[in-house]
Chain A
């Protein structure tokens, strides 16, 4: 019954509250009876466009409590513009909850959360779950500019040490948030959980390998179906149990014979992910 209860569905929601902490970033609170309790930290929703004129949009679930979930979106194109314009009382349908979510128990008791831009949206639920079991938390949070840093105080309120970075130096470290990892000693944390754009996540993966810290990365990607049907959103992944053909990353190399780490398959970000162990990605 556990799996049945957790299985995704079409959820009919109504916009219950709306917040625009900075122009261009909107947090939509949604009233929905049976979603928050089955949502795992790191899962996402496919948001069905009310107009029916756009493809559905994948958004990480930001908050989930009682009969409310919320979604954080950045206005970047027609799909997000349509959603950002929704007012309180507007109906909005979601396919949710989707994807695998974080394996928080595997990250230990001293966890750094690393967020780039609206990647922050996928890290509040993990932070709450980790705080609830007494883990020590550090938030490393980077954005383009100071104004685009959203809700860092929510993490501080959970007891997290918050370290900020901005590309333009208007707040905190001037530069990428991943540069903050360079100064750390090995094993500085028991685990990392990160969400942000791909170049940032690659940098987190490299740093995690160097620091010898297990890291889980929540990938941001444009999906078509979002439910594992179309195989459009893939990432090269260590050959594994995904049940899909395996290739060699360096297939042209004749000598020496391919190592196990050269073998990979294309895993679906929306189905096998969006959270992957950094050391299992072959990107």
Chain B
């Protein structure tokens, strides 16, 4: 008896081919190595590495995390060794990863984005680049790029000019019209969009009269932001043709399917890994079962199916 054919879950983001439609969110997954004892990395579509900047960054003062209802507020502050030390000490370790390895670049000027992208993308260990133009936790500079259309365009164009590898641009939800930014970033040469980064937030200790985070404000992630993220994907999917990586509070296959039906081709999982490192496996298994039960042969068949004005390419 012939076995039933498994639905095809592979995804293309520009030139990048993912075996599974799951990317581990930048900053939540280290370099992947930290989670290797708990999950087979080959079962992941890819790992988006922790962001790297031109110069070393000490990071923000503690506390850097606060639990909030159904959410996690963080302000890490892009702690990283800087691109020189990163290339020298870290990148070689990524060579044997059995999933896609996506470098994440953060910056404080257009030139930073070009410089760090060029150096990082030149390494064979790196399969693609995510441009983090939306970090909310480094003063006003970090997120400015995702919130100002001309800067978002300039940073994307600068990075596009220095690499042929897949360029994913990570957008901020902290804007009035995310679709307008998405259109501009697409026109500037992005191959894909990651939607969304964290939502700005704050928690205050009413006994001590002070914000709970060392950095005062932070970025909110987890199930609390999922409806915000699904709507952002819905709106962006009506505005651009390039694929979208939908992310924000995904913990189950049904959560992921909301994003896919809104128009995402793949999903990002970040905070969900902190509940259980097997969440990415459960998401893939659940999506496969869902497609099989409905008689679909490929994930691409259902992308954007809840979104009547889906403008993307399946």
Contacts and interface: CB of A to CB of B under 8 A. Distances in A.
B253 to A, nearest CB: 12
Contact of B80 (A9, A229, A235, A245): A245
Contact of B275 (A8, A54, A232, A235): A54
Contacts of B277: 10, 95, 227
B38 A265 contact: no
B34 A245 contact: no
A277 interface: no
Nearest to B223: A53
A231 B58 contact: no
Contacts of A56: 274-276
Given A10-B38, A244-B81, A232 B65 contact: yes
Interface string A50-71: 0010111000000000000000
A246 B81 CA distance: 9
Interface in A254-274: 265-266, 271
A203 interface: no
Given A52-B276, A54-B275, A56-B275, A224 B81 contact: no
Nearest to B273: A225
Contacts of B275: 48-49, 52, 54-56
B274 A8 contact: no
A266 B273 contact: no
A56 B210 CA distance: 27
Interface residues of A, number: 35
Contact of A227 (B34, B57, B74, B85): B34
Contact of A245 (B29, B81, B251): B81
Contact of A48 (B37, B85, B271, B276): B276
Contacts of B50: 231
A222 interface: yes
A157 to B, nearest CB: 35
A82 B35 CA distance: 25
Interface of A: 7-10, 48-49, 52, 54-56, 93, 95, 222-236, 243-247, 265-266, 271
- In the A-B complex, the 9 residue pairs with the closest CB atoms: A229-B30, A245-B56, A232-B65, A229-B34, A247-B58, A227-B34, A228-B34, A224-B274, A232-B64
28 contacts: A7-B37, A10-B38, A10-B277, A48-B275, A48-B276, A49-B275, A52-B251, A55-B271, A55-B274, A56-B274, A95-B38, A224-B72, A224-B274, A225-B28, A227-B35, A229-B29, A229-B35, A231-B27, A231-B50, A231-B64, A233-B65, A236-B62, A243-B81, A243-B89, A244-B79, A245-B57, A266-B58, A266-B79
Given A52-B251, A224-B72, 5 more contacts: A52-B252, A55-B72, A227-B30, A232-B76, A245-B57
